[in-house]
Amino acid sequence: MIFAAFPLASAQTIPAPKINPALTADGLKPDTLYPVSNLVKDRRFVYQLITQEYITNENDYFLDIKLDTCFLIFTAMEGERMFKMVYSADEFGAKPWPRANGLQTLPFEIRFTDRGAIEELTNWKVHRDAMMTSLSVQAQNKIITSEEFDQQRLKLNNEKIMRRLAMEDLMYLFELSDDSIREDGEYIRIKPVRSPFSGEDIYLQGNLITERLPGTKNSVKFLTKNAAGVHEKPILLAECNEYAMAASDGTQPITEIQRVGLNNEVEYQYNLLQKVMSRVIFADVLAINFQSRGNIRTYSLWDRK
């Protein structure tokens, strides 16, 4: 959040506006934007989620592509700005989503702030208990040690940690509702991104800028880019090689890994008139040597009442 203490599960954005702001495409002075969300005033709203996973080689040829679609259905509950959210294969909530993971099969009871950011996952203990059941099975099967189980049990007994584990995309989907953003500003942005090898946070530096959509009056884009730099890449490289060694059964030679990259980009499309995020696109790319693995999630506002 802007000018806030570094939060556990959100990006930190530090404003650095330009000294001599340029005029907008319409010849107007740049504005300060407040991307609050009016969705918290609705009885029901739905986002469509399209997920694309791909692998490319050094020539950018696609080696594998997977596509999936589901819907996130938010329904108002008793209590101020309280919503129940479920994943569904259709926009009516009649069909279960077949690719849902264990936590996504559970309902999410979410409290929003008055500006539309997520404040609390009120039924976080239900999600914690589901994770602990899974970890208990792993401990019984000697996949993890009893010490690791106890460490996770203590760690997961925390609403903020469970909120991030269960619904990190959703937190970023509504995150900018708590901010004010200069239209002509370029912001330094520090974002915690989980290492795909160790699972620990790596803090990636990047930026946030604003663009007006051509030919539109009430639509604006917020673009964020974060990438592993000279300090983070050696850490990722060491973790990747360690991961490859641990995963090897010793019967096949291990390909030497010389380069690792990690990029995280988000594109927010905000409607200034309706005061809603009409579309948010998350793109994560992991590059190992000359091969890249991408995960793109597109959330589009499908319906609201």
Dihedral sign, Cα of residue 268, residue 235, residue 158, residue 143: positive
Specify whether the CB–CB gap between 209 and 187 falls below 8 A.
yes
Residue type for position 264: N
Examine the pLDDT at 24 and tell me if it is beyond 60.
no
pLDDT of residue 254: 78
pLDDT of residue 79: 92
User: What would the pLDDT profile of 31-75 be if each residue is shown by its tens digit?
Assistant: 889 999 999 999 999 999 999 999 999 888 999 999 999 999 999
Neighbours of 195 (CB within 10 A): 19
pLDDT of residue 23: 47
pTM for the predicted model, two decimal places: 0.89
The rounded percent of the chain whose pLDDT value lies above 90 is 77
Higher pLDDT, 204 or 30: 204
User: What would the pLDDT profile of 232-260 be if each residue is shown by its tens digit?
Assistant: 999 999 999 998 888 877 777 778 899 99
Examine the pLDDT at 15 and tell me if it is beyond 70.
no
pLDDT of residue 228: 96
Q: H or E segment at 155?
A: helix 146-155
Q: Which two tokens stand for residue 201?
A: 């946070």
Helix (H, G, I), strand (E, B) or coil at 263: strand
The rounded percent of the chain whose pLDDT value lies above 70 is 90
Helix (H, G, I), strand (E, B) or coil at 76: strand
pLDDT of residue 60: 85
What is the rounded distance in angstroms from the CA atom of residue 104 to the CA atom of residue 108? 8
pLDDT of residue 221: 95
Q: H or E segment at 207?
A: strand 201-212
Higher pLDDT, 31 or 301: 301
Alpha carbons within 13 angstroms on the beta-carbon side of residue 62 total 7
- Mean pLDDT of the chain, nearest integer: 89
Specify whether the CB–CB gap between 236 and 260 falls below 8 A.
yes
Please state which of the ranges 32-36, 92-96, 206-210, 252-256 shows the lowest mean pLDDT: 252-256
Dump the DSSP string for 36-49: --GGGGSSEEEEEE
Dihedral sign, Cα of residue 297, residue 298, residue 299, residue 303: negative
pLDDT of residue 5: 32
What is the rounded distance in angstroms from the CA atom of residue 4 to the CA atom of residue 142? 42
Helix (H, G, I), strand (E, B) or coil at 100: coil
